[in-house]
Amino acid sequence: MGREHWKKIWVGSAGNMVEWFDWFVYASFATYFAGAFFPEGNDTAKLMNTAGIFAVGFFMRPVGGWLLGRVGDRKGRKAALTLTVTLMSASAILIAVAPTYSVAGYGGAAVLLIARLLQGLSVGGEYAASATYLTEASAPGQRGFASSFQYVSMTAGQILGLGIQIILQRTMSADALHSWGWRIPFIVGALGAAVVFYLRRNMLETDVYEESGAGTPAGERGTIRALLAHKREAFLVIALTMGGTVAYYTYTTYLTKYLSNSAGLPKQTATLVSFCALIIFACLQPFAGRLSDRVGRRPLLITFALGSTFLTVPIMTMLKHAGSFWPALGLSLLALVVITGYTSINACVKAELFPTGVRALGVALPYAIANALFGGTAEYVALWFKDAGRESGFYWYVAGCAAVSLIVYLSMRETRDIDLARVPSTSPAPTPDLSKPQVPAA
């Protein structure tokens, strides 16, 4: 892979890392600021309130997917990526300065809600823009390897967030963390976004996009009309995302809370388990991505779905009774190894389904819909089952979502060898002018 390809991958990944740092920091620090905005009720009720706002951010992702996917297809991947990080920076600043319940009543929760809506818009476009950019920027025959850095950077953002949390837990008192220390990572996120904004302003556009004069007409680029010509591919993105996104958010954003609230591990131990597991998980992504370039995408997706369908219930059950650091780490790693079959290649699989003129929107909108329905609600569903006294029901829910995706993986076509510049475009035919006589073809 040449130097120019690496530069594009680096810039795309660095921005993605900051985006997802801000996104995941909300989830990882929720146990500390939940009481600041929702003082009434027990600990689970407070977490359900903050998880509800977390889920609301996901429901803005389809809007962000449509808006920024359209920008990415019409103005370029660079323009979309620059806009996403601007929105994310604004949301991080809002959370950092949001007033608590004691200062402004539920006005602070309203600021929190607005910030999450902005984050939803940003991440809704970020995923597709970065997935499309990394896939198009890769060298021939290395799309799986290159696009795997999307989840490397996403996970790196969460690792950075957890690292800051570990440092704060060991240098600040619990009272200070609950009072004001939780604001620190959001300030860090805002500063990081400013740096990435500069990097993205100077990034290179992909050759595939710049050379895509043919295919989807200019007026149809990034439009719902053009996307509807690829309905099958759009529904395929939703279905193949369903199991993967539920599993991913279960074993990443929700894992620390689960180990703390359900398994009874101290918060510091639960955070350290997640931190160590995610470092190894991030390192696995490029290896799995390169493997997919050799054997294809479907074998890895099928392996993930089989593992998640049949192993989720026993893994989650044993995690609840892990009791200490090492058993919890081992079980968490087993789960993350299984979902690597999805995370390492899902970006390129989706990008490989669509022609250049509708690729960003084609990935963004269906993926955002799937995340709004399944990924963003995973934590809330888990807490709902726990609050109802039937926590094991969530384990079966995760396994069921994976089973649905398994059916899709078994029936979908292989996309490894598709030429991105020659993915067929089936743009709608122009509407005939009925005011003129229609002459039948000879």
Q: How far apart are CA 127 and CA 369, in angstroms?
A: 12
CB 297 within 8 A of CB 348: yes
Q: Largest alpha-carbon pair distance within the chain?
A: 84
Helix, strand, coil shares of the chain, percent, nearest 5, are 80, 0, 20
Residue type, 6: W
Q: Integer distance in angstroms from the first to the last C-alpha of the chain?
A: 52
> Cα 69 to the chain's mean position, in Å?
15
User: Per-residue confidence of the chain (442 residues) as pLDDT tens digits?
Assistant: 667 777 778 887 777 788 778 877 877 787 788 777 776 665 666 666 666 776 777 778 899 999 999 999 999 998 999 999 889 889 999 989 988 877 887 788 888 888 888 988 998 888 888 999 999 988 778 999 999 999 999 889 988 988 898 899 899 998 899 889 999 999 999 999 888 888 888 888 888 888 875 455 667 888 999 999 999 999 999 999 999 999 999 998 889 889 999 999 998 899 899 999 999 999 999 999 999 999 999 999 999 999 999 999 999 999 999 999 999 999 999 999 999 999 999 999 999 999 999 999 999 999 989 988 898 789 889 989 998 999 999 999 999 999 999 999 999 999 999 988 877 765 444 444 444 444 444 3
Contact call for residues 260 and 270 (beta carbons, < 8 A): yes
Side-chain-facing half-sphere of 319: CA atoms under 13 Å: 30
- Asked if residue 18 lies in contact with residue 151, where contact means CB atoms within 8 angstroms, the answer is no
pLDDT of residue 123: 83
Dist. CA 308–CA 153, nearest whole Å: 23
CB 125 within 8 A of CB 60: no
- Let me know: does 13 contact 150? Beta carbons within 8 Å: yes
